[in-house]
Structure 1
Amino acid sequence: MTIKLITFDLDNTLWHTDPVIARAESIQWQSIITCCPKANTQFTPASLQQLKLKIAQQYPELRYKLSLFRIEFLFQIFIECGINKVKSRLFAQHVFADFLKARNQVEFFPGVLTVLENLQQDYQVIALSNGNSDLTTIGLDHLFHAHYHAENVAKPKPSDDMFLAALEYAGVEAHESLHVGDHPEQDIEAAQKLGFKTVWANMLQQQWPNSMSKADHEITHLNQLIPALIQYR
């Protein structure tokens, strides 16, 4: 069996996401209170969480649209601070831009650039991510043939949508494809159900759930992916 397509998750597969999001959230809050100092005393972590829940109930169509949901959340913060709608929209877009810039300042796991450059020579390589990272801003867009995420397909992983979009784009079957990701359910189990070969990217040294079928391979460094692919040539 020959592998022709390799799909990659991004967050916690090519970089550690938690510190990136924590920093981006901090920058976002500083941007909010720069636009509206009143927000610093008007909101608590609990009240902000309640606002998110309210938006989720009011706009269920934004459930999987992370960027649009965040912009609406920011807009509502400024509205509750008593700012008019026009200015609130402008502030929301400004703050979101600050967040997104920080969200795309990532530190690659060792070997990422070298491995992706090598894979480009022999495979179609497609990114599948539930997040809203921007490969162009990050500087990886030239190493992927396509990028599917929750905002340009109907549903995020573990739904089939992204995987099927990648298969259609590449013009291959699932048995000719291999998915690399960190999440047992959203990446490995979802890909297995469609017939993909799977690689668990265990960069953060997690324990595999005992109740789930293991991936075909486990790697703790992206360089280990290259030898794992030899058997599929």
Structure 2
Amino acid sequence: MIHYRPLGPIAAISFDLDDTLYDNRPVIQAAEDKLYAWLAERVKLREDSRSYFQQWRQRVLKEKPALRHDATASRHQALLLGLKALGVPQAQVLADAAMGHFLAWRSEGDIAPEVHQMLAYLSGRRPLIAISNGNADVERLGLGQYFKASFHAGGSRRMKPDPDLFVAAAQHLKLTPKAILHIGDHLDDDIQGALLAGYQAAWYNPKGHSLRQHPRGRLLPHFEFGALDSLQQLL
């Protein structure tokens, strides 16, 4: 661990999910592969289905900027509009069903044994909360037993680094923000967001990136670390 600021008392710990507790890129890739295969069994899709629906999602976000804070709603809307543009009958019904399947598939992450061990250790000593910009389900991921609650962007709650999720988690825990340590891999979303919300913050940096390589991360974490199991030294 590399310490930058003195740590205060830690009454609870919040965790980012995607790319902190597991590698999210292959999870999303596999979920999208299953999504387009499922749709192709029911309707005729274009050969470039992935880029086609990605373009629709970009269009949705351009026309409705507020949806950038809701990964589920923006993808759902892109599916619906893309299917309608293809002339698919009952596009709404198909988009609804496809999105339900996608949400299940995107929560099929492979969680390493050491992550389970670390969360089991910490959850026996402090309450844990999940705070995520994405839409992974901690129960489907097999992590539900460790977390008291999970908070996701969407609806009225904006994505990190906006404070909405951090505020909601602190209110749920009935703790002042400075009593909570947030752990995440993203210097903007996790570290800057947590610090501006009054949390303590720890940067998970397994690839050993330099803080100088991330000029957008304007605030120093309390510490950085490269191995999740080292968190057991905290408590």
Secondary structure of residue in 1 paired with 2:41 = helix
Query: Which amino acid in structure 1 is aligned with residue 75 of structure 2?
Result: R
Secondary structure of residue in 2 paired with 1:136 = coil
Q: RMSD of the TM alignment (CA)?
A: 2.0
Q: Which residue of 2 aligns with 1:117?
A: 120
Query: How high is the TM-score relative to the length of structure 1?
Result: 0.87
Matched, 1:15 2:22: yes
Matched, 1:81 2:86: yes
Q: Which residue of 1 aligns with 2:109?
A: 106
Give the Cα separation in 1 of the matches to 2:21 and 2:42. 34
Q: Which residue of 1 aligns with 2:3?
A: none
Cα 1:46–1:133 shift into 2, 3 Å:
closer
Q: Which residue of 2 aligns with 1:182?
A: 185
Work out which of the residue numbers 147, 155, 158 in structure 2 matches 1:155.
Answer: 158
Matched, 1:32 2:39: yes
Give the Cα separation in 1 of the matches to 2:190 and 2:58. 26
Cα 1:46–1:107 shift into 2, 3 Å:
closer
Unaligned 5+ residue runs, structure 1?
none
Give the Cα separation in 2 of the matches to 1:44 and 1:31. 12
Give the Cα separation in 1 of the matches to 2:136 and 2:194. 21
Deviation at 1:44, TM superposition (A): 5.9
Deviations 1:75-123 (A, max 9, x none): 1122112123xx2112112222332222111112452111111212221
- Given that 1:33 and 1:40 are in contact with CA atoms closer than 8 Å, whether structure 2 keeps it comes out as no
Query: Which amino acid in structure 2 is aligned with residue 107 of structure 1?
Result: D
Deviation at 1:217, TM superposition (A): 2.0
Task: Give the total of aligned pairs.
Answer: 224
Greater share of helix residues, 1 or 2? 1
Query: Which amino acid in structure 2 is aligned with residue 162 of structure 1?
Result: L
Correspondence list, 1:38-77, <5 A: 39-41=45-47, 47-77=52-82
Q: Which residue of 2 aligns with 1:2?
A: 9
Matched, 1:170 2:173: yes
Unaligned 5+ residue runs, structure 2?
1-7
Give the Cα separation in 2 of the matches to 1:27 and 1:209. 37
Give the Cα separation in 2 of the matches to 1:120 and 1:52. 37
Query: How high is the TM-score relative to the length of structure 2?
Result: 0.87
